Amino acid sequence: MPDEIKQRFVQVGNKYHFPDGARAFTDHGNRLTSPSENSEVIKSLITIAQARAWSDVTLSGSDRFKKEAWFAARLANLDVRGYSPTEFEQGRLVRALARAQAPARQSAAPDQPPSSLLSRDGGAHIAPRDGDARAKESPAPRERQRTLQIGRFVDHGAAPYLHDPRNATSYFVRIETPDGERDIWGVDLQRALKDSLTRPQIGDEIGVRALRRDTVKVYRPEHDAEGRVVGEKAHDAHRNAWIVEKRDFFRERVQAARVLRDPNVDRQAAVKQHPELLGTYLQLHAAELAAKTLRDPEDQRRFVASVRTALADSVARGEPLATVPLKETAVQRRQPRARSAPAAPERDAAPTR
């Protein structure tokens, strides 16, 4: 067992736990089992496999477990079976190996390593192939969150923050960048993916940005002197509101913002080119009407210019666009209304963004 694994986990018999008592994995000698799909646990299992000179392994279990284990094992130059990677996952591996400048040649070991198995409880496992076996050589800053983070969409899901079981459950989006892979964390990322207009899929080039920070109440347990939970206390916390869209979405938004920012562009031509800006131009028109209440023409100009800039900045960031009231059609107006039913609204709102 590598020293780094001994330091990271608490051993009780053949079981290894996190400091909070949660089981990380069990060592069966030629087989390792884990109850979780935690990325850090899977990497630890592969580290053990390397230390034991296992040359090839077989995977079984959930698709999530096998995908993570396949990638970690192949990065460690272990041959793998039991999982068929997609074309995107193969490319992801090649790019990761290129970034790490993995050695092109592996030295052969004189002896075949013993049979070995990594396993996720409930039938998931990683085991060596029979036959020839060769031993192989062995959280984001706030300013980054507000910046548009571009990369290839690799994975997403609910997990303990930073993949540490001692932390509360959060949500992550993993992207692949020229500098390597990066996990972006935020509870709201799950909603952002669900509400995404462009519906990004794994392998797509996407952009991820925190639009704002909302103040929320969180409740944390209160303990007495003996450590018993005696109640809960509300605390103020901040939660980011996120947007996740395909990369082209942000390119189009930048172009639309450039048009909106230019006061010399005819607004009818602008809306014809970018119909999504109709509601935003209505907001700008309202600002122009409000500016007329100012006596100084220069103050009027500065006010409208500041509103235009603020609206253009919002469009460029990818924030939801202004809604556009939609009037009832002539057919709807001619239809009789049931007396017992409440009056239907005469206006509705068009979808945002």
pLDDT at 303 (0 to 100): 95
Q: How far apart are CA 58 and CA 81, in angstroms?
A: 5
Would the pLDDT of 174 be above 60? Answer: yes
Rounded mean pLDDT of the chain? Answer: 79
Cβ–Cβ < 8 Å for 214, 241: yes
Domain range annotation of the chain: 3-120, 142-249, 262-325
Q: Where are the beta strands (DSSP E) in 76-168?
A: 79-81, 118-120, 149-160
Q: How far apart are CA 94 and CA 100, in angstroms?
A: 10
Q: How far apart are CA 306 and CA 256, in angstroms?
A: 17
Q: What is the pLDDT of residues 245-261, one digit of tens each?
A: 999 999 999 999 999 99
Strand, helix or coil for residue 31: coil
Q: How far apart are CA 71 and CA 68, in angstroms?
A: 5
CA 197 to chain centre: 16
Least confident of 140-144, 217-221, 299-303: 140-144
Task: Measure the CA angle with vertex 310, ends 305 and 314; round to 5°.
Answer: 145
**Predicted TM-score (pTM) of this structure:** 0.66
Q: How far apart are CA 252 and CA 244, in angstroms?
A: 14
Cβ–Cβ < 8 Å for 219, 208: no
Would the pLDDT of 300 be above 90? Answer: yes
Least confident of 248-257, 312-321, 333-342: 333-342
Would the pLDDT of 51 be above 50? Answer: yes
Strand partners of residue 103: none
What is the average pLDDT across 276-295?
93
Q: Are strands 79-81 and 56-58 parallel, antiparallel or unpaired?
A: parallel
User: Residue with structure tokens 């949500």?
Assistant: 171
Would the pLDDT of 283 be above 60? Answer: yes
Question: Among residues 40, 36, 91, 44, which one has the least CA distance to residue 64?
Answer: 36
**Band (137; pLDDT cuts 50, 70, 90):** very low
**Residue type, position 346, single letter:** E
Q: How far apart are CA 145 and CA 241, in angstroms?
A: 10
Strand partners of residue 238: 215
**Band (322; pLDDT cuts 50, 70, 90):** confident
CB-based contacts of 249, cutoff 8 Å, min separation 6 = 197, 198, 207, 318
Q: How far apart are CA 316 and CA 321, in angstroms?
A: 10
Would the pLDDT of 143 be above 60? Answer: no
As given in the structure block, the two tokens for residue 281 are 């131009």
Distance (Å) of CA 197 to CA 194, 212, 244, 321, 352: 9, 19, 9, 12, 10
pLDDT at 218 (0 to 100): 64
The better pLDDT of the pair 136, 35 is held by 35
Would the pLDDT of 302 be above 90? Answer: yes
Q: What is the pLDDT of residues 82-112, one digit of tens each?
A: 898 989 988 988 888 888 774 444 444 444 4
Burial of 173 per CB tally in 10 Å (0-12, 13-18, 19+): buried
Percent of the chain topping pLDDT 70: 73
- How many residues make up the chain in this entry? 353
The better pLDDT of the pair 207, 137 is held by 207
